Chain A
Amino acid sequence: MELPQKQHSLAWRKFKRNRTGLFGSVLILIYLMTALLAPVIFPRNPSSLNLMKSLERPSIENPLGTDELGRSILGRIIYGSRVSLLIAIGVVAVGLLVGVPLGLISGYYGGKVDFGIQRVTDTMLAFPGFLLALALVAVLGVGLKNTIISVGISMVPIYIRLVRGCTLLVREQTYVEAARAVGTRDAMILLRHILPNVLVPIVIQTSLGMGTAILFAAGLGFLGIGVQPPTPEWGAMLGSGRAYLFNAPHVATFPGIAIFFAVLGFNLSGDGLRDVLDPRFKI
């Protein structure tokens, strides 16, 4: 959002005071650095097998132990952060690219267009989000790309609803009428006058959506229909570790913790952003 200079710093000052939000962003930053610097932090191949060392407990060599195929869990979590962040970004990108334009059009034009889009949205929202993603995977098939598309599509109705609601509010503003009164084109009104004014809720939803995306993708991985091995993916690691939960609990525990903190990070920073940016929370 194009905020004036003063508001920029005001938002930043408020965000700095918001400890939970700050904690969330630090978590995200750690994951981001881990993903970017994975080869530096963990120079070995995270997928190299060593059956001699299968299901070892944490040691100096393998700080988080090894899985049933003797692969380092630390390495797989580190490389798994790349996959998870990629999924998070890809999913919200699908949601934004499809949901935001449809929401804008639906809210701005109203009438039959709105009715059509909203009934489709209703239908999609009638399914629990994860179930929808699951059904889409069943149609599209497994793999990284299809995971992103399926989870992304399951997020689309949320964006449509959000953007439509905000657009309904903004399009009644006098400045939109004034823009029409000077002859501005509809496309221009949507992009320059309405979109920037509905950006704040979109940003907040995007941060929250990334957390959900990681959780959904991990859920699919856990069920074995998400990202396929040997790609390291937290959900899949959790799923395969489940079998050894009693004699080697670390195999499932550490990926679980990785998922937990990633989702927590995005949710906390999303809440923090809302506290800072949402005018209803202004003090």
Chain B
Amino acid sequence: MSHRSDRTLDVRSLARVEGEGAMHVRVSGDAVEDVRLDIYEPPRFFEAMLRGRRHTEPPDITARICGICPVAYQMSACNAIEDACGVTVDPAVADLRRLLYCGEWIESHTLHIYLLHAPDFLGYPSALDMAKDRRDLVERGLAMKKAGNEIVEVLGGRAIHPVNIRVGGFYRTPSPRELAPLRDKLRVALDQALDTVRWVAGFDFPDFHHNHELLALVAPGRYAIESGTVATTAGLTFDVRHFEDHIVEEQVPHSTALHALHARLAGRSRYAVGPAARYTLNRQWLSPLALEAATAAGLGADCRNPYRSILVRAVETVYALDEAIRLIDRYEPPARPFVEVPPRAAVGYGATEAPRGILFHRYGLDADGLITSARIVPPTSQNQASIEDDLRRFVSGRLDLDDEQLTWQCEQAIRNYDPCISCSTHFLDLTVERR
């Protein structure tokens, strides 16, 4: 008699989340037959929309791709357009961009730690349930997030979809007096961030490790954020201009989604980007305070347990706050808020470290500055193959769980990577099919 029991877990998407996705796991008996994560990626739509637009428009347009990381899209777009036009920005402008980016890291990491990830570890179904028991914790997270929010508001002109960013710099740069009030708030938030590292270090992390090749920007002398060279843990290094020589996006055979692509390293395999990759490749350039916090929390030379990514995010939040304070302390306004970026017929490349990992942009321009081609490779598509691999191995070891428990744990495994879809899967219905 056959004891074959086939079951299918389907988690479908909701409308209106920045990235939308669905998870599908098919199990046959004690074997995992299929795991797939379908993600409907906004960049594909924006790539088409950008063609024919002026070279000054991508920072504003691509900021709309994600409500959580608009600065990342703006910075990668600026880098690529400035590369195409052969323009280098004033070092003081580059510092302001780094400060702005620190604000986004603080916001995004804090949101993920407190509202999305911590409830998983503490056994709460949602941040709301956690807040009912531990209002103090959620208040702390919101206060930290607000500190990042204020950086983005002061430099970007508003908290969402900042309007003060342009190719070549900023429309307007702040005076030191305008930045000064931020410092005290960031100092308070830094203490809260250190408390956060100690808090999450006490979580119970499942014993689960991967062997994905990790990929991030590196910028010797500083923790890579707004620029750098691409490097991997297997020793591969290349300039951002060669990104598409090494990273291949391919339509996955199982996907029915029009916009779903998997990124792989050419001639190699899956890879992972994000905080754990960044930390592993940049640890030595953390500030002394952040490095001390990482060490005290038990983070070693690398991070290959995806569940411990929450710990890396907490350390990176410490770093971003520490770095923001340093940048404010040494701030001297640039002579001009921006440099002119005259167009020329060329192709430009740019990459930055979005909170979720490396974000690549490439634009082709004609002599009038009209965009002839656009390519955007977001972090989530780069992590997709690694997430699926994690899920495959993860599910294999937990087939004794019922569907509800298994689905919930799969969602946690996905949330380790903080993809935009993490939010949608948190609330979706489960369909079980048995044959």
Check if A and B associate. no
Q: Which residues of B contact A (CB under 8 A)?
A: none
Q: Which residues of A contact B (CB under 8 A)?
A: none
